[in-house]
Chains A and B, each alone.
Chain A
Amino acid sequence: MRRAIPVFALIGILAVFAGCKMLEVVTEVGTAVGVATGTLSTSQADSINKTTSAVGKVFDKLTPENEYYIGRSVGATILKSYKPCDNANVNLYLNVLGQTLAMASDRPETFGGYRFLMLDTDEINAFAAPGGLIFVSRGLIKCCKSEDALASVLAHEVGHVQLMHGLKAIKTSRLKDAAVTAALEAGKNLGGEQLAQLTTAFEGTLSDITSTLVNSGYSRSLEIEADAVAVTILKRVGYNPNGLKEMLSEMASRLKPDKGFGKTHPDPKDRIQAIESQLKDSGEVKSPASRQARFEKALASF
């Protein structure tokens, strides 16, 4: 089993880099290597391939345009529970910072682009809707002592979009129905029954995603993946990736385990431990005066 771990890890890492449509190909090659080297049994390999195939087929049916329209409605649903912050200066600051970070991700282009909005709540929370609509609470922004730390929050959410974690929350059965498949493939001005079937599938898809984002949260492994992407993005742009550690440490002291982020995210101390090896060459966060000044100015405005 110990020898099998590198093969599983390799499949995971390569799947991330390859993207969802190549997930099945990558996994099949990976499991073939695993069987050939004796690290996986044939039945283990078959099981992994079947699971991956089911996940892959859900993704195969959705284009970036579909992802965008799912994300818009997921965002609108989130804003039913959380009031948006109508502060043009803060939202401009978040968008310039966030879109700068998104440019350095492995997925800088989504159908409608990345957009950022502050939520008017002291609850510590953030949500990334599929396609790039990202919501960050005032409470979470207040956990940041520097722009580098705030950049780590936004880069983590960009990571969820890049890795399409929202779409992974869609139940595999949701889009497999033959009538839904036919409606998804129709590509014309739909009417009547087909439009109704597709809208029902759309509602179910939104329910799967918003329920995961708001109630249950992503798995620990997906959160750790998004943290790893965040560190990569921070390094590419030129921010100190220790901003993430700085923010997580502050969050650990403020977080209530049964509410908001505390309910839907792993323990911040656990997350710090997982990224520690990526931070060993980075020193303490020391922002230039001009960067710190604009960060404090943005925070002072709400």
Chain B
Amino acid sequence: MRIIIIAFMAMVCTLTCAIAAGKIMSVQVEKGDLRSSPSALSAIVASVKYGDKLTIMEEQNKCCRVTTADGKEGWIHSSALTKDKIELAAVSKDAKTGASTGEMALAGKGFTPQVEAQYKAKHADIDFTWIDKMAKMKVSTKEVLDFLKEGGITLPEGGAK
């Protein structure tokens, strides 16, 4: 039984963990940072955006060393990437007509700003003011580092990836 479980683990790891070097992956988050080392607390060396295609150079502990189309290099967590192709279209935020006049957004398929706009138009009683305020509550790497230092928190080995 133990041998079967070990073989099972190995099989699943092969299926799920490895991202082959040289593979092209797409950024699946709105905005992402490339960092100088495989740690969320290392220096930011470049920024990437939704749909950008990155070439995988290597993977360490769920972080990928990547290069951008214009030759910038850095590390990003694999949860920001997808093997799926992301094709973005300029979609209208005009809820009523969907016409390409008015405010536009680059979006993928499915539930996008256009659907949200249509939903808002149908549900005027639902207020997004605080949701938009939350989107602006960003925290910088320096704020995190200062917070950890002030609180006497020492990251154990393999802490923030």
Chain A interface (Cβ < 8 Å from any Cβ of B):
6, 10, 14, 17-19, 22, 25-26, 29-30, 33, 36-37, 61-66, 68-70, 72-73, 75-77, 79-80, 84, 91-92, 95-97, 99-100, 103-104, 106-113, 115-117, 133, 147, 183-192, 195-196, 198-199, 202-203, 205-206, 235-239, 287-288, 290-291, 294
Which of A37, A92, A189 is close to B4, meaning CB atoms less than 8 Å apart?
A: A37
A-B contact pairs, 8 of them (CB 8 A): A33-B4, A63-B110, A75-B130, A79-B130, A99-B139, A104-B159, A189-B99, A238-B153
Q: Which residues of B contact A202 (CB under 8 A)?
A: 111, 115, 119
Bound Cα distance from A19 to B84, whole angstroms: 15
Known: A61-B110, A113-B138, A238-B156. A199 touches B8 (CB 8 A): no
Given contacts A63-B108, A188-B89, A202-B119, contact A25 B15 (CB under 8 A): yes
Set of chain A residues within 8 Å of B32, measured between Cβ atoms:
109
Size of interface on B: residues with Cβ below 8 Å to A: 72
DSSP majority for the A interface?
helix
Total A-B Cβ pairs within 8 A: 222
**B50 contacts across to A, CB distance below 8 A:** 65, 111
Which of B97, B113, B128, B134 is the one whose CB lies under 8 Å from A191? B97
Q: How far is the CA of A185 from the CA of B84 in the complex (A)?
A: 13
Contact between chains at A36 and B4 (CB < 8 Å) = yes
- Extra contacts, 10 of them, besides A63-B108, A115-B135 (Cβ < 8 A), are A63-B86, A66-B110, A75-B134, A79-B131, A80-B125, A92-B137, A100-B139, A113-B138, A196-B118, A237-B148
B residues within 8 A CB of A106?
Answer: 62, 79
Q: Contact: B40 with A108, CB < 8 Å?
A: yes
Which listed residue (B40, B77, B116, B144) contacts A73, Cβ 8 A? B116
